């Protein structure tokens, strides 16, 4: 079984990933509605958030693997859906 701190860490990490997914969607939805001089900056911000979200997903997978390998970890409980990373 996961230690409580592991469960809490994985829950918060998953919540952060979802936040950045929504942030990228909002930036991409709003880009066409702002003036051209702002669009490039908004696209850059969306890409930055997307990259950070991908890094968080990798961290989540490593944390899940570590927690599953820890004594008492059953290796079956997952907090993320399988990602291609």
Q: Are 85 and 58 in contact (CB under 8 A)?
A: yes
For residues 8 and 30, the answer to whether their CB atoms sit within 8 Å is no
d(CA 64, CA 79): 7
pLDDT in tens, 9-33: 888 999 999 998 898 888 888 888 8
Reported pTM: 0.64
- At 39-69, the pLDDT tens digits run 888 888 889 989 999 999 999 999 888 888 8
Q: Where are the domains of the chain?
A: 4-67
């Amino acid at each position: 079984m996961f230690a409580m701190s592991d469960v809490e860490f994985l829950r918060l990490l998953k919540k952060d990933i979802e936040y950045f997914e929504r942030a990228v969607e909002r930036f991409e939805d709003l880009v066409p509605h702002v003036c051209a001089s702002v669009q490039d900056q908004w696209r850059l911000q969306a890409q930055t958030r997307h990259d950070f979200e991908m890094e968080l997903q990798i961290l989540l997978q490593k944390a899940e693997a570590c927690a599953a390998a820890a004594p008492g970890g059953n290796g079956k409980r997952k907090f993320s859906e399988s990602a291609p990373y």
